[in-house]
Amino acid sequence: MMLRIKRVPTVVSNYQKDEVEEAGAGALGCGRNCMRDCCLPGAKLPLYAFQKSEKVESSDKKDPPFAFLESLLLGEWEDRVERGLFRYDVTACSTKVIPGDYGFIAQLNEGRHLKKRPTEFRVDKVLQPFDGSKFNFTKVGQEEILFQFEASKDGEVKFYPNAPVDVESSPSVVAINVSPIEYGHVLLIPRILECLPQRIDHESLLLALYMASEAGNPYFRLGYNSLGAFATINHLHFQAYYLAVPFPIEKAPTRKITDFNGGVVISEILKYPVRGLVFEGGYSLEDLSNAVSDSCICLQDNNIPYNVLVSDSGTRVFLLPQCYAEKQALGEVSPELLDTQVNPAVWEISGHMVLKRKQDYEGASEDNAWRLLAEVSLSEARFQEVVALIFEAISCVVTENVSVPDEDEQDVEDVDALNNGSHQTAIVAGKQECLVQH
């Protein structure tokens, strides 16, 4: 059965429209200064060339020489504010930390549900072919793109304020989200001209980790939503913004499940309404990226919607399978939750609740946030099935020398029975290590 629900996607570009645009723009271009063949010849955009590092450095040890990427991103973002390219002033949105143990953040952002266009959105297919007739990021105006983001060819960080757009190499770019959630809200669009569907691969996730690492600011996070987990555009992209408080999910306790190849540690999130995995460490960003992307590819291939949060300057990645859209389509979500119009994507799941109605903001509570996110999460049984599926796909098994949880972690036993053998489905007898198969 094909599940369809009425979707009201957020407008991310000023050129996102209802109608299908006419094909074949004239020789002088479409008049919109877009990122397609009609306007690209001779186009130039700033280029930030980052240095590929061999080792992973945590954000508390990393000391960027002068935080150039951050100053560039925010400087260009502020320039677009002055040029009136955003649909509203996000700095005027009310924000508060909700009282309670978790510190959920609530924001009243009424602008994100105005002037939207209804559309049919399939929630039963995580992988869907790219459709050039629908809105995609080649249709944005070049003024919405802040800079190109590419690896340096000589291993040194470099900035070119006016670099030609190399169509053949399909540059990765950073663009504004014209309906921002927070200050500095941008989109990272890998290999924009290849028109890739919303599907994580090894190269794209590694690029996202490099951007987080290069920013070197623990308050700068990147997020990813798969189709079926509230991605609204089927063109490969990550989102990112600054929020100067910890996300609740970042503070949640974890329990180590196993050591993965390349020094990556995989843990399970505890005492949090959404079940998920955390990937940390690795001898290089590529080691960490491979572990996460292999897991994402497994979820995609098995049609399991998911969200990803890149945290701690690229050294910590949360992988969160979810089922809210499916429940929504099947009529299993309460009218009370549906009335909030909140689509729990990566930011909401991480604890930043973007609310669209004043009454929800004024009545925001930890219980309400927990109630919504609990609907997002897979059941304990289903989550362990998914973990086993991932570990089988990446040739990873639970080790016998799992670390002993501390007293706080023990508290979760009464709630989720996480120590009652629920991990047994992920154990393969006779193996004690993780092996990567490429």
Burial class (CB in 10 A: 0-12, 13-18, 19+), 37: middle
pLDDT at 56 over 70: no
| pLDDT of 395 | 82
| pLDDT of 353 | 96
In this prediction, residue 261 has a pLDDT band, given cuts at 50, 70 and 90, of: confident
∠ CA 131-134-138, nearest 5°, is 85
Q: pLDDT (tens digit, 9 = 90+) per residue, 97-117?
A: 999 999 999 999 986 655 444
∠ CA 221-167-164, nearest 5°, is 80
Residue ranges per domain, the chain? Answer: 45-426
| pLDDT of 19 | 38
Lowest mean pLDDT among 49-53, 210-214, 234-238, 320-324: 49-53
| pLDDT of 63 | 53
d(Cα 401, Cα 398) in Å, to the nearest integer?
Answer: 9
pLDDT at 296 over 80: yes
Domain 45-426 has CATH 3.30.428.70: yes
| pLDDT of 339 | 93
Q: pLDDT (tens digit, 9 = 90+) per residue, 149-196?
A: 999 988 889 999 999 999 999 999 999 999 999 999 999 999 999 999
Alpha helices in 285-344 (DSSP H): 285-301, 324-329, 335-339
pLDDT at 303 over 70: yes
- The residues annotated with a catalytic role in the active site are 237
Burial class (CB in 10 A: 0-12, 13-18, 19+), 304: buried
Lowest mean pLDDT among 24-38, 121-135, 228-242, 293-307: 24-38
pLDDT at 28 over 60: no
Residue found by looking up tokens 């549906």 in the block: 338
d(Cα 67, Cα 54) in Å, to the nearest integer?
Answer: 19
Q: Residue range 220-239: average pLDDT?
A: 96
In sequence order, which residues have a C-beta less than 8 Å from that of residue 339 and are 6 or more positions away? none
In this prediction, residue 32 has a pLDDT band, given cuts at 50, 70 and 90, of: confident
CA distances from 43 to 98, 203, 361 (A): 46, 25, 44
pLDDT at 124 over 60: yes
| pLDDT of 27 | 41
In this prediction, residue 58 has a pLDDT band, given cuts at 50, 70 and 90, of: low
In this prediction, residue 24 has a pLDDT band, given cuts at 50, 70 and 90, of: very low
Mean pLDDT score of the chain: 84
Task: For 231-266, give the secondary structure using H, E and C.
Answer: CCCCCCCEEEEECCCCCHHHHCCEEEEEEEHHHEEE
| pLDDT of 11 | 78
